[in-house]
Chains A and B, each alone.
Chain A
Amino acid sequence: MVLRKILCGLLLIFISSFSVGAGRAFFFPKANLTKDAFDLVRAKGDPDAPLWVVEYFDYQCPACRRAYFLLKDAVKENPSKIYLQARFFPLVMHKYGLKASLYASAAAAQGKFWSFHDVLFEKQTEWSRAPEESIDTLFENYAKSVGIDPKELAKAVADPGTKQRVFDENEKAKSLGVRITPSFFINGKLVAGFDAFKEAMGKFFTIKETVPA
């Protein structure tokens, strides 16, 4: 009888494992990470560098800000060793996350992505607390400060195509298994969350974390 119980237990383990495998295959098919051409304008470094880092982030996420400063230092100190691609993953829980991504996407169309990206993270604490009616003006002022034409920017932000591209990027991220921000792919391997990223980067470089207030 004990043997029958054990066999029954093993059968239940088999059924559970099979249902997990089937669930993953049918409901959550996983896409492959590629060095997409559409976000080349949001890439930094040598595409043949030994370390390929893809970051999925939300501009309003505080942990993404920490990751931004860490990555900025790492890229600055090891420019030939890292190829960085920045991709949007605005979360619903962040009021201005999507809007910031739209502005950054529009800035990318003018070839000013990285300077605008820097301003958004550096001034995150300022605009995150701004009232809704002043957020557009604030973003436009940041854009002006880095030499972006505000009229062209406003046009690109209002363009439904810009929103669609951010939405598509979001969907692609989900199909890659991204659920939280910041999430990274280091040489194609998913690393989720800032702590895991810091630990993973520590294997390649000496990490010093400097986050200004």
Chain B
Amino acid sequence: MNGAKCKLFFSVRVVLAVIFIVSGYLKLMEPYQNFLAAVYAYKILPAAAAKAFAIGMPWVELIFGVYLLAGLWTRFSLEVLWFLNSLFIAAVASALFRKLPISECGCFGGAASFPLDKILWLDGALWTVFALLFFFSEDAKWLSLDEYFRKKQ
């Protein structure tokens, strides 16, 4: 497992992981109330669920991003992050459809913000990369803890 294909998918895995780690980390650097305001703006979740989502989601992004980077439970981490990515696409698409006056997507906390139509394209591109990696997840396990433990066994 050290061909060019493995190195390519390893790089893709690292890039995806870093995106989620940065996104989660930046949100966690701020009071959760700022992200909660972004969640409220989408008008999807009731108050209690929105609060739980605003507190928990950045940790999910960070921890599963770290797992994906380290290659621990690679496929499961990939599935969790892919699911999150699909949720974001659904939320942004529904906000665009309902013409909600949202100026900030809330994706990277207060540090970086994108208009909704642009972030929909970016999330769509990310979704495709996830799909690709999902089908080649064995190749993406180069330099991973999963591979290390498999060899040890």
Contacts and interface: CB of A to CB of B under 8 A. Distances in A.
Contact of B149 (A1, A19, A193, A195): A1
Q: Helix, strand, loop or mixed for chain A's interface?
A: helix
A7 to B, nearest CB: 11
B4 interface: no
A192 B33 contact: yes
B63 A16 contact: yes
Q: Helix, strand, loop or mixed for chain B's interface?
A: helix
A57 to B, nearest CB: 14
Interface residues of A, number: 28
A111 interface: no
Given A5-B145, A16-B66, A192 B36 contact: yes
A190 B54 CA distance: 14
11 contacts: A1-B149, A5-B145, A13-B63, A23-B29, A27-B29, A183-B33, A192-B33, A193-B37, A195-B40, A196-B37, A199-B47
A151 interface: no
Contact of B145 (A8, A24, A180): A8
Interface in B33-56: 33-34, 36-38, 40-41, 47
Nearest to B35: A192
Interface stretch (B6-14, B67-75, B117-125, B128-136): B67-75
B152 interface: yes
B127 interface: no
A45 interface: no
B88 interface: no
A157 interface: no
A196 B36 contact: yes
A112 B62 CA distance: 49
Interface in A10-39: 12-13, 15-16, 19-20, 23-24, 27-28
Given A9-B73, A23-B28, A195-B40, 12 more contacts: A1-B152, A1-B153, A12-B63, A12-B70, A28-B30, A62-B101, A177-B34, A180-B37, A192-B33, A192-B36, A193-B36, A199-B47
Given A5-B149, A195-B37, A195-B41, A179 B25 contact: no
Contact of B25 (A12, A20, A191): A20
Nearest to A12: B66
A47 B31 CA distance: 26
A128 to B, nearest CB: 14
A192 B41 CA distance: 11
B126 to A, nearest CB: 21
Nearest to B146: A5
A180 to B, nearest CB: 6
B67 A12 contact: yes
B40 A196 contact: yes
Among A1, A9, A180, the most chain B Cβ lie within 10 Å of the Cβ of: A180
B31 A192 contact: yes
